[in-house]
Structure 1
Amino acid sequence: MRGSTAGITDGLRGTSKAHYAVLTVLDMILSALFISPLVVTYWRGTWCIMDYYVYPDRPDYSSYVSLGIGLSVLLFFTLLQGPITENLHPDKHRLTYYLLSRLYTAIFGFSCVNSWRGAWIFLDVFTGDSPDTVLATTLTSALLLGCLRSLRNISAPPFAIVTDRREGYFEVPTMFRISGSRDTWLYILDCFFSVFIIGTLVVFVWRGVWCLLDIYLFPDREDLSAWGSLAMGYILVFSTFATQPLVKSLVIRVSGFWRLLTVDIYLIFSFCGTVNVWRGVWNLLNLYFLPDRKVMSYWVTHVACFLLLVFINSSNSILVRGVYIDAEEDGAQCVDFPCYYLRLFFQARRRKKLLRQLKKRQIANLVGKKSETDVFPVPVVQDGIEKTPIQVVDPSQAV
């Protein structure tokens, strides 16, 4: 779900500011109204399948199974991200890479849902759902995340979508960014802390806000509660996007504690919109999508949404993967939500066009059709993102 914007924004800007602005707005709309509902629907289907098949009459046992499946697989993929990246490369065998990478996403996504479901039900069973208890666990978890500068990990679609680009496909950032090739035991502890501690605290915050909405938002009218969440969620989501330029100008002017506080407040505001959208879509599916054939409803939403997300190259949006640090990016990028879809598509096309033009000029220069003083911008690509072009004088030297 989450993602970092470091090094992305500048690389996506083309020659036309108006063109970039239009693509930005379209990306926001696409993320909020299309990709996010697909992600929520997938999660709902997967979660409810486990509810139906795994100890439906024993929520405590069911939570243990989900925790065991979820946390063990997440830890496994986090620990082995380096070897997986080295051995599963698209340049070696493209079809094998495509099939195995999507299988990786399917397993990872199923495990993410189970880790959340297990922690969520565990808290339901052992702490109850009284307002005071829910509020206490939620505030405590949010405070701990804030102290660890990890509050941004509560973000999810529509404020964070991830396309299935080859670059960084298997990367899982850990809390302390320790390299597994240098400090093996510290790396294991880092992975363990990232998966078990940070991940669980994020679930507790989500569960708390969701439960409070269940308690106070039309508790006797499930339909009104769902529609109310959806309406309130989208109002907050689009309000967050609309106020982004103002918040960016503010975080540039402040530093230190005040910058971090501003970023965290903005993240909490966006989170309120996110959790309401998720709850609204989720509960409306329970009410209106095949309500008399629940098992079919669960399987259809699980399978169809995953396949559709794969088809549109956004299946990684279903994952809760890695730990990101609050306000770690420079300037205003710390409040720039990673909702890149159309911008990445057009940026890739522009990069290919520039490379084709460069190749033509280089060939023409070799046969003496161009002057040796031709100057042409060469796009620099790092981690799959086009950086600010540099100038190469005498293209014959670049061949």
Structure 2
Amino acid sequence: MQQGSRLPIVLKIGFVIFVVEGLIMAGLAAIDISNARLAALADAALLTLVSSYWICQWVIRPYVQERDQAEDDLVRYTAEMENLRLASLVIDDGGDAVAVASPDGTLIAINTGFNRLTGYTADEIVRRKQHMFNTGSHSAAFYKSLWHTVSVTGKWQGEMWLPHRGGTIFPAWVSVTSLYNSDRSAHRRLIRVSDVTSGKKAQELKWRHANFDHITGLPNRFMFLDRLQWSLKQARQLERPLTLILVDIDQFHHVNEMHGLAVGDQLLKAVGERLVAAVGATDTVARLGEDGYGLILGELKDAASREQLAQSLLEKLAEPYELDGAIFKLTASIGVSVYPDDGANVHCLLKVATQAREDAKEMGGNALVGSFKDKEVLETESLAKFLAS
């Protein structure tokens, strides 16, 4: 409560009585009172004012003091309830580390499990104003994406590298859940952390880092080549075609130079999402390099289907991207190769698709190059040319 509101009402009333009494005395002094009755009335008025003052002291003042005390008790009760709420949130639960953060992610309370896992005490956490969502162990784009998800959906879970008080970092599985006020504004972020340094989760984490791109979540080049080899083997056994598509985003380095790596990473993720949405569930979409993607498609049985899909990819990637209110436009260069028409092994298929993609770039980008005629059609056209020569 503010100090100004603690000024007792009785003092204010007393001050008013004092002023009124002074005015009455001054008025009576200015008038030649010869009438005893008028003097008696003045005395009665003064007596009434003085009596009112003491009534305020004896009756109203205790009430005001009681009201002030009740307000103080309410403030203390609210603070105690908040402390109890925090304590209940960070209570030990199965050995997991638990922390409570403010809506912006600043840690404000931890349990003993969090202390054991990170080495930081509760006092150190509060004093350092440690921010859970920006520990410095990941890229700016990673934290921005994480925070955006928490702000929009109220939750997030995934793998993070967290700092230890000893100066090292360690892998952890982090789960964030938001608690809301009655008006749906964020009140607290409840954070649970599990150490995955050892055990099955650690193995899964190590495998994922080795096989998946950390920005887009797509398979990386290593996983892509492994799947291409396996898919080619399946295509041979089933005697069916296999389509390989290589995609490069045109002039993507300009995006990083003009808008920064964080924006570039978000666009790379958005491109990957569009590619995944455009193909089948059994197909593979991978990120192969800075601005390159690879697709392995096993369900396209004829040239018309391949050309139609490749053209739709070109159109979908050229649609505007909206990030934080800003609009971005991208185009792509696409190269296509097909087993068995363009080669019988991984090396040949990659070579043909790579050359086709480079040809699309030389055409100015926003283009696709590939053989979109079935083998029988090509053989017929070749024979016709030979006979006509």
User: Is the shorter-chain TM-score for this pair beyond 0.5, marking a shared fold?
Assistant: no
- Could you say which structure has the greater relative contact order, defined with CA pairs below 8 angstroms and 6 or more residues apart? 1
Instruction: Determine which structure has more spread, i.e. the larger CA radius of gyration.
Output: 2
Which category of TM-score, normalised to the shorter sequence, fits these structures? under 0.3
